[in-house]
Amino acid sequence: MTTKARFASRVLAGLVSVAAWLAPAAPLAAARWMPSPADKLIVEDPGKGIVGAIYLEKTLRSEDGAFRTTVRAKILSKTGFDVATVEGLAPDAWEISGRTISPSGGVTELASKDVRTITTVKAAGVSVERKAFTMPALEPGCFVEYTYKEPGDFGAHSAYHVEIPYQDKYPILKQEVWTPRRFTYSSTTRAQNGVHIAIREDGSHFVYSAADMPATHAEMYGRPLNERSAVVIFAFVLPGISGSNVEQFWKDATQLALVPAVKSQMIRSGRVADRLKGLAGSREKDPGVRLRAIYNYVRTTIKNRSALPAGETEPRGGWKPNADAGDAFAHESGTPSEMAAAFASMVRADGWKYRAVWVSDRQSRYFRPGVPSVFQFDGWVVEVSDPADPARRAYASFEHPLLPFGIVPWNHLALDGLAVDVEAGTSEKLLLPILPAETNLRRRIWTISVEEAGDAHVERRSIWTGYQSFQVRSDLYREGRADYEKDLRDQYEKLDPPSSVDSLAFDKENDPDEPLTSTLRLLTRGIAPPLPGGRIAIAPLPLLRESNPFPVDTRHDPISFPFPYVNQDYVTVVAPEGYVVEGVPGPTERTSAVGRYTLTAEKGPGEKVVIQRTFTLARANAGPEVYEAYRSLFEAAIRADAALSVVFRKAAPAKASS
Amino acid sequence: MTRRGPFLLAAAAVLAALSSVPTAKAAVQAPDWVLRAKETKVDPAVLQARPEPGATVLWRQRIITAGSSSGATRLYERHAVRILTPGGASSGTFYSHYDDDSKVDVEGAWTLHADGKAEALKLADVVSVQAANPEYFTDTFVLAFRPPRLAPGDIAAYALSRRSRRDVYQWSLDLQGGDPIAAQEVVIDLPEGWGHRWRLSGAVDGYSGPRSGEGGPKATYPFPAQRGIQAEQRSGARADLSADMEISILPPAGKFPELVFQSWNDVAAWFAKKSGAVRASPPPAAVPLFTGDAVREPARWVQDRIRYVALEAGEGGWVPREPALVTKRLYGDCKDKAFLLLALLARSGIEAYPVLTRGTDDGAIDGDFPSPVQFNHVIVAIRQPAPSGLAAEIRAKGLVAVLFDPTSPWTPYGQLPAQLQGARGLLVRSDGGELLDFPFAPSAANRLVRSVDADLTSEGGLRAEVTETSDGALSERALYQAWTPQERTDAISRFAEREIRGSRASALQLGNLGDPGKPMEARFHLASEGFLRTTGALTLLPVLPFAVGPGRIAATAGAERRFPIHLGAPERRELVVRFRPGPGLKIDALPDPISAENAYASYRFAAAVEDGRIVVRETYETKKPSIPLSDWTAWKAIEGAAARAAASQAVLVRAP
């Protein structure tokens, strides 16, 4: 641009801004909306979920590359004031206006100087700013109305894949999203919680509208907002991948996007042939050993750049860039995706069938085959099957260096993935299998030696398998041994009664194919208080540190645990010198639709009581209608744990023998 | 107010993301002072802390300068820390801050690896985040940076300079931190003719020299090795734990007089000048005339109607806004609310004054260091025609007044919020300032009374009505007011679950929720199957559900306690539990009474049979705000008594 042209453009911009300033009517002023008599009658009604505030109307309008948001809401009590604070607007948002209408009808305008620009982050010479404001003159019973326009098809939230929720912290009486009929995004609606989103044509627009949406709130072991809410999903249409229907879309997407993405990272079989030579097992004779050997070869030969152990840093000068799996082998380091490509290249060269399974991360979004969007995925894992026995399949992921063979991170489980046959160029929906509870075992063997003064020496030997072992291993890996132990000491000191850690030892912490074991020794103070009558009582199971995650009465969202599991505890309580076992508690058993809890106690050899406790969470995922089954199971377990007491009494002095 | 925590986290998160981006770094040489720091001998005594420190500061130098013509002061910092463990690498993430009136220049940051090779931070990798949101808008930017590729054994170092706010000529420098410090010095480097005054607050390890003094333009103050400060439960404000060096810069007579604070009168005059225009502005016409109590009614109106929104950019951090604007917006920060109330009281001819203060949870105010930087809050002192006997009453020169905090939404007139009881504040009058000690309310005013009326079932279950009233510093009104009805019910469910494992709470009812003048009441029903512990022929009854005794102070593994025990405002907690044994259950034995009493607190527990019921009474009362470390055994006696009582069980037997 020439200097003259630049000057002209500045003048023009100046004139435009002056004209905007002189314009007598801002959008809201022009509309002059006032609440209806029905709006004025709305009051808090906790029974109907109307608490704090209510959105009367939300209108989101995409037009000519700009996105206008208009919100009208009523504040019902002070807990709803936050409905009138707006953050995260694009820094160049414009036509921002708002007003508060008091219960008596008085109007207070949002002053333009009260719209603030906040620097979210400044780094590397780049400054990221956002606009924000809070409405004035708030009081229970007032109404707020605000509007603003942002650049981009979806404003500050513009992306290739945009999910617009129709539910929020407060109920919404009406919400509409307007888009041009000629739009570079496909759209899909998802009904949920009784909210149905209707689509209609209005002139040159599509309008997605819904009414009477209930509020939604995050719950323990629940889902992210976009997954628990009714939504409209817009996905950018990539050239050539449009498809007249969803089936055709995935066919095109597989061939034009997903297969090339995997192939571009894989290397031809000849380049990995030598690497296969020294590996254990053979596909024909010993397929399990062979596959595991290939997996471990990749896992240990290529350092995982995205998950370094505690205290380790990237090399001086940074990582060398990798173009494909060959570079990852050459540089002995790579991303999880490059490692997966290296593994896929090797199993292909070894004669296995394989597929790349594209997966999403359930902590942010579920993959839905009905949504024509390739931007739903978080990465891919490798499915391998034996050509001689195609039904036997194994899944390999390289997201963490201590993932054992056959274990895919739990955040990809219990939802669909897309299995892509890279060689054939086809794909199909696939649900990654969840391993049964028994494979995710935590078994702990406790010996609690009680002293007359009420303290106890505790030894705990633990063994973890499956996801349970991975969880502990990855914590150790991330924190480092010293800091892990420091945290553990701190946690035990804060228990009631307190314990001090005498020693902690681990075995097989860096060998994911083996169960992880550890031995912990504690001194627990004041765990066995005296009882009237010269007795000592001990309630040992609080040492297990279990808790009930579901103390509240209501549940709206499905329950989604990371994985099913079994926790077994064998506890031997040894009487102090000179004491005998007086009482042993009876058994407890609880079985619900989602798991089982059993607790037994019996007198062991000598003056000991042996307790066996098993808690099985068999079903990791279920709808809210099953909530009571979860709640009652955890509740019964925690109650029985707390109630279990072992009582010792002083032994009668032995009679002198003549 | 300091609310930088979330912004520090945000800066650290961005920093972590950026640090994973590979950047080419040329071979560099660390500055000489970093190389010298590497050779620093660390006193083994400071490393013997438990848990073991993750990092040690080898060398820290702060240099204070001033420009003779501009008056701008600058603080230069040099800091070198050795990383000892992977977790200790977090000590290599450095923070600073700046605002519209100040500026930070990061001169450099370096990693000196264990093998002697050095790397330098690219200054473009310094991250800053504005510590602001729409309801707490400040011009403060938190700045974070981390030298590259830090690993255990490496030294992380930085050098930066920070220009001070123009309107304050003082620095308060901490001499201790979370990590041990092997060696440090504070250097004064002022123009000729200038001077400085200094004083130490807190206990400086290994230091036996003077605690305060004055000096000329040049001085160096070296300090011996300092232990790291480990978090200890009930140790009070973090700011009160570390030793500080407070420094006032003294320009030549007549130069920059408005920036020098020699006395509390100077500070009061400074604030009176800042707020003078607002004080003189007319009372807001939009506020209705009050027809009831001329003090309590406007006081409650400001508390209730003005939403807390702080706009603290630039002068907005010190200068209150006009009452008419605050009334129009129906929002403001502490000083806006205080000056609105002053205007409303003036309308009725009631004399009142602003009081600068800081809550005890932000640290005590040092009476020997007159400075505005010690304050972050404003309340109001309202003259009384005669002593009122109210808990918030103070006496100043020629004045009996009641302190009132219009920012605390639920503290009634006549009381102070918990964090202001026992705090200090500067009463600002046109003729000067007076530093006041705020009163504590008596323990009877900071009170919680809980009762549990329980029926035991023959199957071992429990059905109970739990009632709780709370008032003063122990009032739960603000909590309940901030929750929605569903959140209140959920909170009670969690509370019940925590106190009696596997129990269920229901039918929550709240009394006096919106009336700060009355104690708040919460009542709920509780049910638990399997509350009794049956073992063999014995049935055990835990007699103290919902105990009110003090919680145990957890020891830091292997470490001796270092700081006094902070009890806060005097308080009284009472519990009465009445158990009615079900059919077939007979009382066999009750636990013995337990009590402990000393000059700081008292604790009592006793169980008795009254009218066929087991009645358990527990009382915990504090008398003084803190227990000196020398009387640690006094605390242990109280804590031990409460722990024994909490574990007490009665023995029941099945009646034949």
Task: Write out the DSSP string of B478-540.
Answer: HHHHHS-HHHHHHHHHHHHHHHSTT-EEEEEEEESTT-TTS-EEEEEEEEETT-SEEETTEEE
Asked if A639 reaches chain B (Cβ–Cβ under 8 Å), the answer is yes
What tokens appear for A559 in the block? 């329950």
Distance between A66 CA and the closest CA of chain B, angstroms:
24
Looking at residue A28, what is its pLDDT? 55
Looking at residue B5, what is its pLDDT? 52
Contacts B85 to A, Cβ<8 Å: 311, 480, 482-483
Contacts A316 to B, Cβ<8 Å: 25, 117, 119, 149
Rounded to whole angstroms, the Cα distance separating B171 from B245 reads: 8
The secondary structure of B318-355 as a DSSP string is: TSPPPHHHHHHHTEE-HHHHHHHHHHHHHHTT--EEEE
CB atoms A482 and B85 under 8 Å: yes
> For the segment A415-468, what is each residue's pLDDT rounded down to a tens digit?
899 999 999 999 999 999 888 999 999 999 999 999 999 999 999 999 999 999
Q: Please report which helix (H) or strand (E) contains residue A7, including its range.
A: helix A3-22
Report the pLDDT averaged over residues B65-90: 92
CB contact residues (below 8 A), chain A span 24-63, against chain B: 46, 51-52
CA distance from start to end of chain B:
66
CB contact residues (below 8 A), chain A span 617-636, against chain B: 635-636
Vertex B486 angle, CA B485 and B489, to 5°: 90
Rounded to whole angstroms, the Cα distance separating B562 from A137 reads: 49
Asked if A534 reaches chain B (Cβ–Cβ under 8 Å), the answer is no
Confidence of residue A113 (pLDDT cuts 50, 70, 90): very high
Q: Which of B284, B531, B149, B494 is nearest to A644 (CA)?
A: B531
pTM of the model as a whole:
0.92
Looking at residue A533, what is its pLDDT? 78
CA distances from B432 to A292, B273, B437 (A): 81, 11, 17
CA dihedral sign, ordered A10, A11, A17, A21:
positive
Q: Which of A544, A550, A548, A446 is nearest to A495 (CA)?
A: A544
Mapped onto helix, strand or coil, the DSSP state of residue B378 is strand
Confidence of residue A176 (pLDDT cuts 50, 70, 90): very high
In this complex, the residue of B489, B528, B590 whose CB is nearest that of residue A553 is B489
Per DSSP bridges, beta strands A646-650 and A535-538 are antiparallel
| pLDDT for residue A94 is more than 80 | yes
To probe the interface with A, which of B103, B649, B652, B653 has the most A CB atoms within 10 Å?
Answer: B649
**Sheet with B613-622, side-by-side order of all strands:** B504-511, B520-528, B462-470, B447-456, B572-580, B613-622, B601-610, B594-597
Report the pLDDT averaged over residues B207-220: 96
**What one-letter code names the amino acid at B102?**
S
| pLDDT for residue B106 is more than 70 | yes
Rounded to whole angstroms, the Cα distance separating B64 from B74 reads: 6
Phi/psi at B230 (5° precision) = -90, 145
Report the pLDDT averaged over residues B217-223: 98
Distance between B76 CA and the closest CA of chain A, angstroms:
22
What tokens appear for B424 in the block? 């200090």
Looking at residue A242, what is its pLDDT? 80
Mapped onto helix, strand or coil, the DSSP state of residue A113 is helix
Contact of A149 with A94, CB cutoff 8 Å: yes
Mean pLDDT rounded to a whole number for chain B: 92
Looking at residue B166, what is its pLDDT? 59
Asked if A125 reaches chain B (Cβ–Cβ under 8 Å), the answer is yes
Looking at residue A26, what is its pLDDT? 46
Contacts A584 to B, Cβ<8 Å: 535-536
Looking at residue A496, what is its pLDDT? 84
Contacts B51 to A, Cβ<8 Å: 486, 489-490
Phi/psi at B395 (5° precision) = -120, 125
Looking at residue B627, what is its pLDDT? 97
Rounded to whole angstroms, the Cα distance separating A125 from A192 reads: 44
CB atoms A46 and B486 under 8 Å: yes
CA distances from A385 to A307, A350, A359, B144 (A): 28, 12, 18, 49
Q: Which of B174, B203, B168 is nearest to B62 (CA)?
A: B174
CA distances from B172 to A289, A552, A635, B161, B189 (A): 66, 48, 52, 15, 16
- A547: closest chain B residue by CA: B501
Contacts B532 to A, Cβ<8 Å: 643
Report the pLDDT averaged over residues A391-417: 94
Looking at residue A194, what is its pLDDT? 92
- B141: closest chain A residue by CA: A119
CB contact residues (below 8 A), chain A span 416-455, against chain B: none
Contact of A229 with A167, CB cutoff 8 Å: yes
Instruction: Report the length, in residues, of chain B.
Output: 656
| pLDDT for residue A8 is more than 80 | no
In this complex, the residue of A217, A489, A643 whose CB is nearest that of residue B530 is A643
In chain A, the percentage of residues whose pLDDT exceeds 70 is: 94
Report the pLDDT averaged over residues B36-40: 95
Contact of B547 with B576, CB cutoff 8 Å: no
Q: Please report which helix (H) or strand (E) contains residue B10, including its range.
A: helix B5-19
Alpha-carbon Rg for chain A in angstroms: 31
Contacts A532 to B, Cβ<8 Å: 588-592, 650-651
In this complex, the residue of A85, A123, A647 whose CB is nearest that of residue B14 is A123
| pLDDT for residue B2 is more than 80 | no
What tokens appear for B394 in the block? 């103070």
Confidence of residue B654 (pLDDT cuts 50, 70, 90): confident
Looking at residue B457, what is its pLDDT? 93
Contacts B507 to A, Cβ<8 Å: none
Asked if A532 reaches chain B (Cβ–Cβ under 8 Å), the answer is yes
Distance between A13 CA and the closest CA of chain B, angstroms:
29
> For the segment B343-362, what is each residue's pLDDT rounded down to a tens digit?
999 999 999 999 999 999 99
| pLDDT for residue A260 is more than 80 | yes
> For the segment A462-509, what is each residue's pLDDT rounded down to a tens digit?
999 999 999 999 999 999 998 999 899 988 988 888 999 999 999 999
Rounded to whole angstroms, the Cα distance separating A384 from A381 reads: 10
CB atoms A120 and B129 under 8 Å: yes
Looking at residue B9, what is its pLDDT? 56
What tokens appear for A404 in the block? 């054992």
- B551: closest chain A residue by CA: A496
In this complex, the residue of A108, A123, A644 whose CB is nearest that of residue B125 is A123
Asked if A138 reaches chain B (Cβ–Cβ under 8 Å), the answer is yes
CB atoms A134 and B647 under 8 Å: no
> For the segment A40-83, what is each residue's pLDDT rounded down to a tens digit?
999 999 999 999 999 999 999 999 999 999 999 999 999 999 99
- A45: closest chain B residue by CA: B485
Asked if A104 reaches chain B (Cβ–Cβ under 8 Å), the answer is no
Which residues are within 8 A (CB) of B392 and not within 5 positions of it... i.e. 6 or more apart?
A: B402, B403, B404, B413, B414, B415, B416, B438, B439, B441
CB contact residues (below 8 A), chain A span 336-375, against chain B: none
CA distances from A272 to A275, A385, B199 (A): 5, 19, 71
Looking at residue A652, what is its pLDDT? 77
CB atoms B552 and A81 under 8 Å: no
Looking at residue A6, what is its pLDDT? 41
CB atoms A136 and B330 under 8 Å: yes
- B147: closest chain A residue by CA: A313
CB pairs under 8 A between A and B: 231
In chain A, the percentage of residues whose pLDDT exceeds 90 is: 83
Confidence of residue B22 (pLDDT cuts 50, 70, 90): very low
Confidence of residue B488 (pLDDT cuts 50, 70, 90): very high
- B20: closest chain A residue by CA: A314
Give this complex's ipTM.
0.92
In this complex, the residue of A79, A500, A537 whose CB is nearest that of residue B540 is A537
Q: Which of A90, A157, A154 is nearest to A117 (CA)?
A: A90
To probe the interface with B, which of A82, A120, A121 has the most B CB atoms within 10 Å?
Answer: A121
Asked if A545 reaches chain B (Cβ–Cβ under 8 Å), the answer is no
Range with the poorest average pLDDT among A377-386, B71-80, B548-557: B548-557
CB atoms B129 and A121 under 8 Å: yes
Confidence of residue B47 (pLDDT cuts 50, 70, 90): confident
CB atoms A552 and B489 under 8 Å: yes
The secondary structure of A562-595 as a DSSP string is: S--EEEEEEEEEEPPTTEEEEE-BPPEEEEETTE
| pLDDT for residue A18 is more than 50 | no
Which residues are within 8 A (CB) of B599 and not within 5 positions of it... i.e. 6 or more apart?
A: B623, B624, B631, B634
